[in-house]
């Protein structure tokens, strides 16, 4: 049976294109140690030319809209191309932060109090502050990598932020003060826990992608009891949303020890210094091994499909 070529997809049309290109280049280099690899730059919301379902298994590093929301996954499945990561349904679900909240909370994973609203029907600042307090997190419901994230601490700030929202669906959440963590998962099992310490106090797009603005503690310095609870919550959330293969899940830990899920990232950043690789290194998986393990289930699916067609 022929060995598939791993097609690494990167770029895309979202605001996170440059981040995706960095992830893709790193994954292509890492993957090449264990598989024949081909790099594809995605320039439109379409399959790149040259993908062959009989030869390729896709490892996508596309971030944001079309990459993570099920758009690319839908095209891959329609073309019969095997791919690593979450399927259409789970990708669409986890890209929708509000539906993710509903899915994980139904399984007992805690989320911050919040509400969803349309830009055309915004709540009044006074009403929102009365419901959630004056420290509020505002974010687009369907975007990635902290795009559009705003954290406000005063009633005036909340009024200004709401006035600036012009389109789309948004989420407002009570701001949970505490420590931020992330957990990588492979085949639904939690790996190491990483603490994220942004110097600004907010892990927004700038803090995430500007060198030197955030410190990381890997493995996180937390008790075994908290680590066990966080790992179990991550695995529960992964299963609740129907995820497969791998993901990264972010949490806040309040001063009184309460855990709150922030979001599920199904195609997280994949430079060697990114959070998922950090989590993997905590359990002894270097970057090359992580790349190999991320794509392994898709290679298995590729082989099974070929047998079924034979």
144 with 41, same domain: the answer is no
Give the other-Cβ count within 10 Å of 212's Cβ: 7
Residue 123 DSSP class: P
Given 134, 209, 292, 301, the catalytic residue? 209
* CATH number, position 72: 3.40.50.20
Given 11, 12, 16, 67, the catalytic residue? 16
Based on the structure, what is the number of domains in the chain? 3
Q: Is 281 a catalytic residue?
A: no
227 with 102, same domain: the answer is yes
Q: Is 269 a catalytic residue?
A: yes
- The burial of 49, by beta-carbon neighbours within 10 Å (0-12 exposed, 13-18 middle, 19 or more buried), is given as exposed
Q: Is 141 a catalytic residue?
A: no
99 with 80, same domain: the answer is no
Q: Which domain holds residue 221?
A: 93-106+177-287
pLDDT of the residue at 211: 65
Q: Which residue has the tokens 């790149």?
A: 48
For every residue of 232-268, DSSP letters joined together read: HHHHHHHHHTT--SEEEEEEEE-TTS-EEEEEEESS-
283 with 301, same domain: the answer is no
Given 60, 207, 265, 274, the catalytic residue? 265
131 with 147, same domain: the answer is yes
275 with 191, same domain: the answer is yes
118 with 209, same domain: the answer is no
Q: What is the pLDDT along the chain (310 residues), one digit of tens a residue?
A: 578 999 999 999 998 899 999 999 999 999 999 999 999 999 999 999 999 999 999 999 999 899 999 999 999 999 999 999 999 999 999 999 999 999 999 999 999 999 999 999 999 999 999 999 989 999 999 886 567 889 999 999 999 999 999 999 999 999 999 999 999 999 999 999 999 997 766 655 555 555 667 899 999 999 999 999 999 999 999 999 999 999 999 999 999 999 999 999 999 999 988 999 999 999 999 999 999 999 999 999 999 988 887 7
Pairing of strands 189-198, 150-152: unpaired
Q: Is 244 a catalytic residue?
A: no
pLDDT of the residue at 111: 98
Backbone angles phi, psi at 46, to 5 degrees: -155, 165
217 with 133, same domain: the answer is no
189 with 236, same domain: the answer is yes
Q: Is 223 a catalytic residue?
A: no
190 with 265, same domain: the answer is yes
121 with 198, same domain: the answer is no
The residue out of 159, 174, 189 marking a domain boundary is: 174
């Amino acid at each position: 049976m022929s060995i598939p070529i791993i097609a690494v997809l990167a770029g895309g049309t979202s605001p996170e294109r440059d981040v995706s290109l960095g992830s893709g280049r790193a994954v292509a280099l890492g993957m090449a140690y264990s598989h024949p690899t081909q790099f594809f730059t995605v320039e439109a919301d379409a399959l790149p030319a040259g993908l062959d379902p009989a030869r390729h298994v896709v490892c996508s590093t596309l971030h944001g809209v079309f990459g993570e929301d099920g758009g690319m996954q839908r095209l891959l499945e329609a073309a019969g191309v095997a791919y690593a990561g979450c399927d259409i349904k789970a990708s669409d679900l986890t890209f929708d932060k509000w539906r993710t909240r509903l899915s994980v909370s139904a399984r007992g994973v805690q989320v911050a109090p919040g509400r969803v609203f349309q830009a055309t029907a915004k709540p009044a600042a006074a009403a929102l502050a009365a419901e959630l307090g004056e420290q509020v997190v505002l974010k687009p419901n369907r975007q990635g990598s902290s795009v559009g994230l705003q954290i406000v601490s005063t009633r005036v700030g909340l009024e200004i932020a709401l006035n600036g929202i012009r389109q789309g669906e948004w989420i407002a959440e009570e701001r949970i003060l505490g420590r931020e963590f992330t957990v990588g998962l492979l085949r639904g099992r939690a790996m190491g826990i990483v603490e994220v310490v942004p110097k600004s106090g907010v892990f927004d797009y700038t803090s995430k992608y500007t060198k030197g603005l955030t410190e990381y503690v890997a493995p996180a310095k937390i008790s075994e009891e908290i680590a066990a609870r966080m790992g179990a919550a991550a695995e529960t959330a992964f299963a609740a949303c129907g995820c497969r293969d791998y993901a990264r899940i972010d949490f806040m830990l309040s001063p009184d020890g309460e855990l709150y899920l922030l979001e599920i990232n199904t195609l997280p950043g994949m430079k060697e210094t990114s959070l998922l690789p950090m989590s993997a290194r905590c359990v002894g998986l270097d970057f090359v091994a992580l790349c190999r393990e991320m794509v392994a289930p898709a290679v298995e699916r590729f082989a099974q499909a070929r047998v079924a067609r034979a």
